[in-house]
A and B are shown apart, each in its own frame.
Chain A
């Protein structure tokens, strides 16, 4: 079955991974992060994405891979976006109790 999709691929500890492009909003080079104390280990911090606050997840930790060597900066950040139906649902939920009348 010929069915092609585009993927955003990246390496994590020498392993190649891919995310379907549809689920990717943008790719950021190194950005500054604000750590969140008490958060789960895989939360690496908060990013200021043009005025929006985005939670960053350390994929190495999430997948229980080896920790990133200290001298290595987490260079690439992939901003994931939620699937459309989830956003639509959120939108609908909001419209249920938040529409200005």
Chain B
């Protein structure tokens, strides 16, 4: 697709930067790397949870972007395009890692009585969740809770709910079927909800 035909209209500052980058302007490239590196490093750290891997993959992502500048079709913002390259580079690295055998997850999922009713009546989070979103401390605790999910569930949750890949993209990236991806995503959300329940109940009792 040519830039002129792209449905997305690239902002003027992106177009100017892209022109400088394509012209081999070293100073522009350094500015771009310094401005973009925090976001790239944040994304790959989140996915890889290993600083050495994250830094290597961040470097690979910038190199891939550098190689792809000539063929970038302008159908997204430069930052979005680079973000996607970083996610893909991190996924490539994840695939090469030896995965741990699947852990038993029954204890991480909601519990039910023999008749199918909830073992513990779930409380309403509505009031607390607004406060929780606004709290840096709670956001940090939520990130920790995501980090503690078993790898195969955490990866799916990050790709779909946080990095916002489509179901098809995430399934393809992880080499699993769409049905398997949906099952894992739902379980990952249920596990995260269980982990956050204590946190939300503590908030309910805390003074505003």
* A and B co-occur in one complex: no
Give A residues with C-beta under 8 Å from B. none
B interface residues (Cβ-Cβ under 8 A, vs A): none
